[in-house]
DNA sequence: TTGAAAGCGTTACCAA
DNA sequence: TTGGTAACGCTTTCAA
């Protein structure tokens, strides 16, 4: 069934049916009702491909995220869910593209075949060549995260620098003098992941400011890497009494490592970092952390993109978020006595 | 740039360019190379909407999952990620539809506007009206999960009945005589969620067979509900020494509740259930559980759907999976002495 | 207020 | 081995 069929049954032309559908030109009440009745009766819905071909808009946005090779973290998955929700609320569908590298077939399809009106980029790198590709084909995009030069971009980001700083200050205020930093995997750091770089930068800066002894580690995105990383931390510097982590997937392993080392959280050892709240609340004791506002960020990203699609010449906009640290149960005063273990 | 432009520059007709692209009819080596050179030079890619309109295939599959209202569990998110990966491997894109109810706009768009060639359904109910809608518009689909009457359907499912039974047997073998069952939220049970129903059925049956005392609980999909549920369990029957859970999101809360009640896992209390391995390994002690093979299931679902799309008359196929229990560290012999606490 | 018809960029059939 | 051309189903301009 197509628009011609509707037109025939309603005794009007196809264009009139089209205008009833789009509302782009006035249609008399009588005709409109007649047509609407036929549409409802037959449950007609216009074909998306034909519509996209004719008017150049797909009403679909692309969500570009890295392939599972590196494992999905809970945070990434949270973003996906929330972007899809927010897009649905604006009557946009979301096409997923699991592409980190610009050479990826799926990414190429999205861009080159014009399957989407615009794209949301996740897992940003400081120098992100995906922007060049998007710009070169004229596809509007919004990033979740920001590059090294975010001045004129469209993005919604988390101020990882400030967040990591806040974590250090929180721990230093509690009297901790030796603090470790658990970052994302080295491979991602080397690839230029902005959260890893900016977080590290903030941690290092604040540690220097407060004169605390610090070491930084890269850690795989899974529990067993977290456990191994913690063993390394205590081996390298047994006097360590606290850590800051950006690595949500490793969190359970970090806790396990502490338990095995006989360090009680928060009595002997404090843990904090940047983690989505729902994961922070899963561990025991619940994690004192800067909660990643995945829902808000997903919504903002979609809103920005839709705005950009509706107003191609609108000036670039962005949102830099720096949520406060939610005090839960994983941090406490540095223990005065020696927290020795075997 | 379009196919006409390529044709002009290569000095051939549009149809010949099209056939070079699709390979659906032989083209002489000379012409092919001439055309291919122009294509590469200009970086031409055919427009997806036009192609879909002309040949009736979008090369996109829809992934239908419930809205975030009920929170995404890690398992659901795992499925999404793995389906997208598997689809990309077959050069299909994935369109997400956050729709539980059939009335949902996004679901309607997917079906009615023919944005996809077929669909994968997640979070199945025993009676799932989404099938009726899909069938009524002639859209092929594959379910992750199975209805009450899966005989002639296309699906890949987990044998929750057998899995829950295996959990009970495992615990009974260890000497546990009083076991609780922690299910998904009551709202989902009432809605007819198949995993909740079949899991409950398997648990109840095995508990009866083994003559163990049992109680069953519904529990919200989050940590604090898990903690509350555990308190209820111990309040209702302090002699409980083990539990089986299908509720992954509550797991952290269950553990926390046990810790607060002074029950050490696995010495005083055993925990097992059906959980994706990556989450099972996050908690301490690591969970002995039937690992949900999310990756395999995602891949199988995509493979089945692609097969069905390629062979519209192929007989229905399905895969019923019953992964073995992975022994980790959360179960042990029932404690002989009274495991008393305040 | 409405209709006719020319696109939109492909595919695939029919001829040559 | 290739070219011409009619679909595919919609939107939108031009006329009435």
- Asked if residue A342 is part of any domain, the answer here is no
Instruction: Kindly state whether residues A224 and A143 are assigned to the same domain.
Output: no
- Asked if residue A334 is part of any domain, the answer here is no
- Strand C close to A54 by CB, under 7 A: yes
For residue A85, give both structure tokens. 């929700």
Instruction: Kindly state whether residues B2 and B83 are assigned to the same domain.
Output: no
- pLDDT tier, A339 (very low <50, low <70, confident <90, very high otherwise): very low
Is A282 within 8 Å of B252 when comparing Cβ atoms? yes
Q: Is the pLDDT of residue A336 over 70?
A: no
Query: Between residues 181 and 220 of chain B, which touch chain A (CB distance below 8 Å)?
Result: none
Determine contact, residues A269/A253, Cβ cutoff 8 Å: no
Q: Tell me what percent of the residues of chain B surpass a pLDDT of 90.
A: 84
pLDDT given for residue B278 in this prediction? 85
What's the average model confidence in pLDDT over A121-128?
Answer: 93
Instruction: Kindly state whether residues B82 and B205 are assigned to the same domain.
Output: no
DSSP β-bridge partners for residue A98: A65
Instruction: Kindly state whether residues A176 and A272 are assigned to the same domain.
Output: yes
- Asked if residue B338 is part of any domain, the answer here is no
Query: Between residues 31 and 70 of chain A, which touch chain B (CB distance below 8 Å)?
Result: 43, 45-53, 58, 60, 67-68
Quote the CA–CA distance of B342 and B337 in Å, as a whole number: 16
Please give the nucleotide, over all strands, whose C1' is closest to the CA of residue B25: D1
Instruction: Kindly state whether residues B178 and B254 are assigned to the same domain.
Output: yes
Q: What distance lies between CA B230 and its chain's CA centroid? A: 26
Instruction: Kindly state whether residues A221 and A178 are assigned to the same domain.
Output: yes
**A223 contacts: CB under 8 Å, gap ≥ 6:** A249, A250, A252, A253, A256, B278, B281, B282, B286
Determine contact, residues B333/B172, Cβ cutoff 8 Å: no
A256 vs B: CB within 8 A: yes
Instruction: Kindly state whether residues A154 and A174 are assigned to the same domain.
Output: no
Q: Is the pLDDT of residue A99 over 90?
A: no
Determine contact, residues A186/A247, Cβ cutoff 8 Å: no
- Asked if residue B340 is part of any domain, the answer here is no
pLDDT 10s digits, A159-202:
999 999 999 999 999 999 999 999 999 999 999 999 999 999 99
Domain harbouring A305, CATH code: 3.40.50.2300
The total of structural domains in chain B comes to 3
Instruction: Kindly state whether residues A133 and A244 are assigned to the same domain.
Output: no
Instruction: Kindly state whether residues B19 and B88 are assigned to the same domain.
Output: no
Instruction: Kindly state whether residues A305 and A269 are assigned to the same domain.
Output: no
Query: Which domain covers residue B110, as residue numbers?
Result: 60-158+294-322
- Asked if residue B24 is part of any domain, the answer here is yes
pLDDT 10s digits, A39-96:
999 999 999 999 999 999 999 999 998 765 556 777 888 888 899 999 999 999 999 9
**What is the value of pTM for the model shown?**
0.93
Q: Measure CB to CB from residue B93 to each of A115, A222, A278 and give the nearest one.
A: A115
- Asked if residue B116 is part of any domain, the answer here is yes
What's the average model confidence in pLDDT over B62-75?
Answer: 75
- Asked if residue B329 is part of any domain, the answer here is no
Instruction: Kindly state whether residues B167 and B281 are assigned to the same domain.
Output: yes
pLDDT given for residue A74 in this prediction? 78
Q: Is the pLDDT of residue A38 over 50?
A: yes
Instruction: Kindly state whether residues A141 and A260 are assigned to the same domain.
Output: no
- At residue A72's C-alpha, the angle toward residues A159 and A257, to 5°, is 80
- Asked if residue A107 is part of any domain, the answer here is yes
């Amino acid at each position: 069934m197509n628009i011609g069929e509707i037109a025939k049954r309603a005794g009007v032309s196809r264009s009139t049916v089209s205008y009833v559908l789009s509302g782009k030109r006035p249609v008399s009440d009588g005709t409109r009702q007649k047509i609407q009745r036929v549409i409802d009766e037959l449950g007609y819905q216009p074909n998306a491909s034909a519509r996209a071909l004719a008017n150049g808009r797909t009403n679909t946005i692309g969500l570009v995220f890295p392939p599972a090779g590196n494992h999905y973290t809970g945070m990434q998955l949270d973003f996906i869910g929330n972007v899809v929700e927010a897009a649905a609320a604006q009557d946009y569908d979301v096409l997923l593209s699991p592409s980190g590298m610009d050479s990826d077939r799926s990414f190429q399809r999205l861009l080159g075949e014009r399957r989407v009106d615009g794209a949301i980029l996740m897992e940003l790198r400081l120098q992100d060549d995906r922007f060049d590709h998007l710009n070169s084909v004229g596809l509007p995009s919004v990033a979740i995260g920001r590059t090294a030069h975010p001045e004129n971009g469209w993005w919604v980001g988390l101020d990882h620098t400030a967040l990591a700083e806040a974590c250090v200050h929180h721990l230093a205020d509690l009297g901790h003098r030796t603090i470790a930093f658990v970052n994302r995997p080295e491979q991602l750091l080397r690839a230029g992941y902005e959260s890893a770089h900016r977080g590290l930068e903030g941690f290092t800066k604040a540690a220097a400011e407060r004169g605390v002894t610090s070491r930084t580690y890269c850690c795989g995105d899974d529990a067993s890497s977290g456990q191994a990383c913690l063993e390394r931390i205590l081996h390298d510097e047994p006097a360590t009494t606290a850590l800051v982590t950006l690595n949500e997937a490793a969190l359970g392993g970090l806790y396990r490592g502490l338990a095995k080392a006989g360090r009680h959280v928060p009595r002997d050892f404090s843990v904090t970092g940047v983690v989505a709240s729902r994961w922070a609340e899963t561990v025991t004791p619940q994690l004192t952390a800067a909660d990643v506002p995945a829902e808000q960020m997903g919504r903002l990203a979609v809103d920005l993109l839709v705005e950009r699609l509706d107003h191609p010449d609108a000036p670039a906009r962005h949102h830099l978020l720096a949520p406060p640290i939610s005090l839960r149960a994983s941090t406490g005063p540095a223990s005065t006595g020696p927290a020795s273990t075997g």
